Amino acid sequence: MSFANEVIKKLFGQPLSENQSIHSEPFIIDLGRIQRSEKELEAYYEWKHKHASDLIFEFKQNSLFSRQNLTERLNFVWLNTSTANGFQLDLSEAKTPLEHHWYGLELLKERIVIQGYITTHSEYSVTEKLNEIHKKEWYYLKTPHHNRIGNPPFEQRFGNIQLELNEASKTKLKLTATTYSDRNYHQPLPFDQLIEAIFG
């Protein structure tokens, strides 16, 4: 090792190899509970009045195409297991004007609330990894607490729902519905019924 390299190593430490830096932890810039300002919400409601129906139609059309193995822009990926169902789509490919990608997240959340859900938790994080800013927002939705009081079995509707917006080089929007399979809960409603309700 040359003298110059030895000095650099003492001053700045051993540089990470490419393999090490890929697996390094992201640096947290900011995190907390989602809070939209009054100005942000006013802009969102104005956008919603003009474009929400177009975005929902775009979601519905692309989801139908994806299930028939036809070409579609939003790159739908479906999850289907015994205890969880969901989808992920590429929101950055939407044709509907979106000044902010969180409009799509907010719109889906509102349409799930109409199905008898409440938002129990929200969170966001902004991190940096490999010189790339990465932003995530989550909403957790459940049936109201009074649905789980008294004697089981309890009504779970579509299960617990998580919405996630993941913004990096592309913007992914994900919905996951996790259900209970034990005797304390009634059978969940069919996941396709939830899709029809929020995309219908």
Domain assignment present for residue 92? The answer is: yes
Q: Is the pLDDT of residue 184 over 60?
A: yes
DSSP H helix total and E strand total for the chain: 5, 7
Domain assignment present for residue 3? The answer is: no
Q: Measure the CA–CA gap between 50 and 106, rounded to whole angstroms.
A: 15
C-alpha radius of gyration, the chain, whole number: 21
| Contact (Cβ atoms closer than 8 angstroms) between residue 87 and residue 62 | no
Exposure b/e, 31-59, CB count within 10 A at least 16 = b:
eeebeeeeeeeeebeebbeebbeebbebb
Domain assignment present for residue 2? The answer is: no
Q: Is the pLDDT of residue 121 over 60?
A: yes
The single-letter code of the amino acid at 128 is: E
Q: What is the largest CA-CA distance in the chain?
A: 75
Q: Is the pLDDT of residue 2 over 50?
A: yes
Domain assignment present for residue 103? The answer is: yes
Domain assignment present for residue 182? The answer is: yes
| Global pTM value | 0.85
User: What tens digit of pLDDT does each residue of 18-73 get?
Assistant: 454 445 688 999 999 999 999 999 999 999 999 999 999 999 999 999 999 999 99
Note down the domain range covering 108: 26-199
Residue positions counted in the chain? 200
Domain assignment present for residue 121? The answer is: yes
Domain assignment present for residue 20? The answer is: no
Q: What is the mean pLDDT of residues 172-195?
A: 95
Domain count, the chain: 1
